[in-house]
Amino acid sequence: MPREREFSRLDRVASTMKRVLASPLGEIARTEGAGLVSITAVDVTSDMRHASVSLSVFGEPDEAEAFVKRLRGRASELQHVLAREMRTKRTPVLSFKLDDAIARADRINRLLGSDEPGEAFD
């Protein structure tokens, strides 16, 4: 029984982190000209010391990678935002990564919709 509670608490923490970080990440994206940024997932370790934030960035892949790299440099600033908003004993150390699932799905959709026979295998 305690195991179920642990998972639900981690899920609630991840959900809260996602909600709290959405606004500051959107603001950073606007000021840096990164376009549309969406948090696709937040994975929190069981000891709540680390959290990995997966982002989807609409735009060119190189620009998206550059934005995530700049965001890594601002992780401590975002951790302070979390510390103010969350009521937990410790605030997880944040890491950011690019989630390319949307880009992969778009590519698959374009390949499936193509009329050229050999184009899907390029």
Reported as half-sphere exposure (CB side, CA atoms, 13 A), residue 87 has a value of 0
Burial of 29 (0-12, 13-18, 19+ CB in 10 A): buried
Could you give phi then psi for residue 121, rounded to 5 degrees?
-105, 10
CB atoms within 10 A of CB 53: 25
Q: What is the mean pLDDT of the chain?
A: 85
**Is residue 117 predicted with pLDDT exceeding 80?**
no
**Is residue 21 predicted with pLDDT exceeding 60?**
yes
> Per the confidence metrics, is the pTM higher than 0.85?
no
CB atoms within 10 A of CB 23: 10
Per residue in 33-81, pLDDT (tens digit) is 888 899 999 999 989 999 999 999 887 878 888 999 999 999 999 999 9
